[in-house]
């Protein structure tokens, strides 16, 4: 485990403080370490709040800090923000549950994914994990009926015009989810994503691995009622793929998620509570993806060791990216084309680290490069063409990124 003084010297005291709080949560450091660190370091609290928000670990970090003596103004600020985040989590859980049963009444089966369901399943508390969206798994054939149901309920379908224009089958083929927003007095209060794939089809992942396995489920009381949820190993598989290949482990929250998932799954293994299929899923993940890289990163940052751990050189690059908050760091949309290229390059670079086998890395890079020019909803909505001229969007896309600022669907 890297010394917290080394993290402080290389980055800054606010980043070191965040990491130290996470270590205390996982019991690899003690509260006395935190008291000592704060006593000898001048914490830039505004910078700390900003970095905590970027790293998406506020619920855990704030809970730890509130266990020690701090200036009253700091303690009040932490407490107020933690209360707000906790209330937000309860509202999300309540709305998640309501949507599930609303759709069930209309013959649509939805299963919660990530978000408060993940927090309840792996942390035992819906308020321990920061999330802003309501993520639900849906069977593709149920999507049209779900759109109708949620529209009647006051949700605005995001890019519905594009969905209707491109057609259901084409939409399912190239995308992973369909999104909705609900507003109250012009303020967005909920964002819902209905997932039919784990990651976008532009990223290399065989179709049979990109599909949620929902034949076997478990149940948890999310808010007031029991809801069907993914079994822990399948939830781990889906979130692990998302964090590695979609988020490329870009912020500390993904490291904390992995740590908590492994702790829970190891506990199930030790109790012999995993079936043959679940054990096979874990073996397949270990064979196909560079999990040792994540194990080493977790060990260096949080002090949680894994069995049969080996040294991985690229962990230092990943840790540096994490603690520098480099994820999606672009030039504030000054040049959409070059910003997209910059972000895509870094995303490709880091995501490729997580494929264990060279052929898979090459397939990933090739498919991602080819998919870069694949038309997106923003292209089709920015410039309207007849469907028989769809092929022209492949040529239009770079010019759209260069001359059309931002996402026209959000204006």
Q: pLDDT per residue over 354-401, tens digit each?
A: 999 999 999 998 888 887 777 778 777 777 788 788 888 888 777 766
Give pLDDT, residue 105: 96
For 352, how many CA atoms within 13 A lie in the half-sphere containing its CB?
Answer: 17
Give pLDDT, residue 69: 93
* DSSP letter, residue 177: E
Evaluate if residue 353 carries a pLDDT over 60. yes
CA distance 138 to 145: 11
Q: Do residues 66 and 82 lie in contact, with contact meaning Cβ atoms separated by under 8 Å?
A: yes
Evaluate if residue 411 carries a pLDDT over 50. no
Give pLDDT, residue 407: 44
Residue with the bigger pLDDT between 384 and 69: it is 69
Give pLDDT, residue 328: 61
Give pLDDT, residue 391: 80
Q: Do residues 331 and 339 lie in contact, with contact meaning Cβ atoms separated by under 8 Å?
A: yes
Q: Which structural domains are found in the chain, ordered by start?
A: 88-230 (3.30.460.40)
Give pLDDT, residue 86: 95
Pull the structure tokens for residue 282. Answer: 């874990």
The count of other CB atoms within 10 Å of the CB of residue 100 is 21
* Lowest mean pLDDT, pick from 133-137, 338-342, 347-351: 338-342
CA distance 354 to 370: 20
Residue with the bigger pLDDT between 274 and 338: it is 274
Q: Do residues 201 and 186 lie in contact, with contact meaning Cβ atoms separated by under 8 Å?
A: no
Task: Enumerate residues 6+ apart whose C-beta is below 8 A from 200.
Answer: 174, 175, 176, 246
Give pLDDT, residue 149: 97
pLDDT interval class at 337 (50, 70, 90): low
Evaluate if residue 410 carries a pLDDT over 70. no
Helices (H), 137-216: 143-152, 160-166, 168-174
Q: What percent of the chain has pLDDT over 70?
A: 92
Q: pLDDT per residue over 140-194, tens digit each?
A: 999 999 999 999 999 999 888 889 988 899 899 888 999 999 999 889 999 999 9
Which residue matches tokens 């006593």? 39
Q: Mean pLDDT over all residues of the chain? A: 89
Give pLDDT, residue 266: 93
Average pLDDT over residues 47-59: 95
Give pLDDT, residue 333: 53
How many residues appear in the chain?
411
Question: From residue 267, how far is each of 76, 261, 274, 404 by CA, in Å?
Answer: 37, 10, 10, 51
Helix %, strand %, coil % for the chain, to 5? 60, 10, 30
Evaluate if residue 306 carries a pLDDT over 80. no
Average pLDDT over residues 286-302: 93
Residue with the bigger pLDDT between 330 and 100: it is 100
Q: Do residues 137 and 214 lie in contact, with contact meaning Cβ atoms separated by under 8 Å?
A: yes
Q: pLDDT per residue over 255-276, tens digit each?
A: 999 999 999 999 999 999 999 9
pLDDT interval class at 329 (50, 70, 90): low
Pull the structure tokens for residue 20. Answer: 């130290």
Q: What percent of the chain has pLDDT over 90?
A: 67
Evaluate if residue 51 carries a pLDDT over 60. yes
Q: Do residues 250 and 328 lie in contact, with contact meaning Cβ atoms separated by under 8 Å?
A: yes
> What is the dihedral angle through the alpha carbons of 79, 80, 83, 87, rounded to the nearest 10 degrees?
-170
pLDDT interval class at 198 (50, 70, 90): very high
CA distance 401 to 151: 31
CA distance 125 to 85: 13
Helices 252-270 and 232-241, axial angle in degrees (round to 10) = 150
pTM over 0.85: yes
CA distance 179 to 223: 22
Task: Enumerate long-range contacts of 354-358, CB under 8 Å, 24 or more apart.
Answer: 354/244, 354/245, 354/248, 354/249, 354/289, 354/290, 354/293, 354/294, 355/288, 355/289, 355/290, 356/287, 356/288, 356/289, 356/290, 356/291, 357/288
Average pLDDT over residues 219-226: 91
């Amino acid at each position: 485990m890297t010394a917290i003084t080394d993290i402080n010297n290389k980055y800054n005291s606010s980043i070191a403080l965040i990491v130290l709080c996470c270590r205390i949560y996982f019991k690899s450091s003690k509260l006395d370490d935190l008291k000592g660190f704060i006593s000898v370091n001048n914490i830039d609290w505004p910078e700390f709040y900003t970095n905590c928000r970027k790293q998406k670990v506020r619920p855990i970090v704030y809970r730890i800090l509130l266990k020690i003596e701090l200036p009253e103004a700091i303690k009040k600020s932490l407490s107020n923000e933690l209360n707000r985040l906790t209330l937000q989590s309860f509202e999300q859980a309540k709305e998640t549950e309501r949507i599930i049963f609303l759709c069930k009444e209309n013959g649509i089966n939805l299963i919660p994914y990530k978000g408060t369901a993940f927090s309840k399943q792996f942390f035992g508390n819906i308020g321990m994990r920061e999330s802003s969206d309501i993520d639900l798994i849906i069977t593709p054939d149920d999507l049209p009926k779900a759109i109708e149901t949620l529209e009647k309920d006051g949700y605005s379908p995001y890019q519905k015009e594009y969905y209707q224009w491109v057609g259901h089958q084409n939409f399912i083929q190239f995308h992973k989810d369909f999104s909705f927003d609900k507003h109250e007095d012009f303020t967005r209060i909920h964002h819902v994503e209905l997932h039919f794939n784990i990651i976008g089809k532009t990223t290399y992942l065989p179709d049979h691995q990109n599909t949620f396995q929902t034949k076997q489920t478990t149940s948890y009381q999310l808010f007031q009622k029991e809801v069907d949820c993914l079994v822990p190993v399948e939830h781990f598989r889906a979130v692990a793929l998302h964090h590695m290949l979609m988020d490329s482990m870009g912020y500390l929250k993904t490291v904390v998620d992995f740590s908590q998932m492994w702790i829970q799954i190891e506990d199930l293994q030790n109790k012999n509570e995993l079936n043959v299929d679940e054990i096979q899923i874990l073996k397949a993940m270990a064979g196909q993806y560079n999990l040792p890289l994540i194990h080493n990163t977790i060990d260096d940052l949080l002090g949680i060791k894994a069995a049969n751990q080996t040294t991985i050189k690229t962990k230092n690059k990943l840790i540096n990216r994490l603690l520098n908050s480099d994820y999606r760091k672009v030039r504030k949309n000054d040049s959409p084309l070059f910003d997209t290229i910059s972000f895509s390059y870094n995303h490709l670079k880091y995501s490729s680290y997580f494929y264990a086998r060279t052929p898979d890395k090459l397939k990933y890079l090739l498919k991602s490069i080819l998919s870069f020019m694949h038309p997106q909803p923003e292209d089709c909505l920015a410039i309207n063409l007849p469907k028989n001229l769809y092929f022209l969007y492949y040529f239009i896309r770079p010019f759209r990124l260069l001359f059309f600022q931002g996402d026209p669907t959000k204006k």
